[in-house]
Structure 1
């Protein structure tokens, strides 16, 4: 069940990141646009890879990388806000979505590692 929620939310977040990338490219913030595009879309891509993990350790590994990508995305969002590329409302909205993804990923890892 959580993987379905995570699948849906990570896709929705990736779409938001793609739109943000387009906006940043219009502002000629190419480097930051590329960075957040890579990290923000990797979350969903890794979740999809984990759906067909070869083993529990492989699943945990893929989700652990998704955690790192999510954390990197949070960094880029903070930097974009603090350097006035995105508004506080945009930052809060995307930050909350990314933070929710982080919690879902972390919960999934703990469930597979330790059971519930």
Structure 2
């Protein structure tokens, strides 16, 4: 059940991130940090998908751990974009909580999976 939730939520996050990236590039003319942001936010869902198709429990946990790192990195780029005034507090608040939610779900799945091993 939680695998399908994280699969859907990480995909929604990627779509939101791609749209956010487009506005950063077209409206703010920011290309360096926004590219890093795009890579990390789309990697979250990609690694969740790899985890769902893992060959073993250890592989599953490892892929989710990579996804967790990518989600945390995405949050870093958002914080940096906000602090350097490329995005407003409102823009930040439109996406950051969604990253936090996905990160919490991923962490929960990892903890549960490890305790069930």
Q: Give the TM interval when normalised to the shorter protein.
A: over 0.9
| Equivalent residue number for residue 110 of structure 1 | 111
The runs of 5 or more residues in structure 1 that have no matched partner are none
More displaced stretch, 89-98 vs 68-77 = 89-98
Give the Å deviation of 1:49.
Answer: 0.6
Distance of 1:90 and 1:63 partners within structure 2 = 27
How many residues in Structure 1 have an aligned counterpart in Structure 2?
115
SS of residue paired to 1:28: coil
Cα deviation per residue 1:56-99 (whole Å; 9 max; x = unaligned)?
11001100001110110000000111111222122123111001
Q: Does structure 1 residue 82 correspond to structure 2 residue 97?
A: no
SS of residue paired to 1:54: coil
Give the Å deviation of 1:108.
Answer: 0.5
| Equivalent residue number for residue 96 of structure 1 | 97
Give the Å deviation of 1:28.
Answer: 1.9
TM-score by length of 2: 0.94
Distance of 1:87 and 1:7 partners within structure 2 = 29
Pairing 1:14-29 to 2, within 5 Å after superposition: 14-26=14-26, 27-29=28-30
More displaced stretch, 89-98 vs 9-18 = 89-98
Q: Does structure 1 residue 30 correspond to structure 2 residue 31?
A: yes
SS of residue paired to 1:85: coil
Distance of 1:17 and 1:77 partners within structure 2 = 10
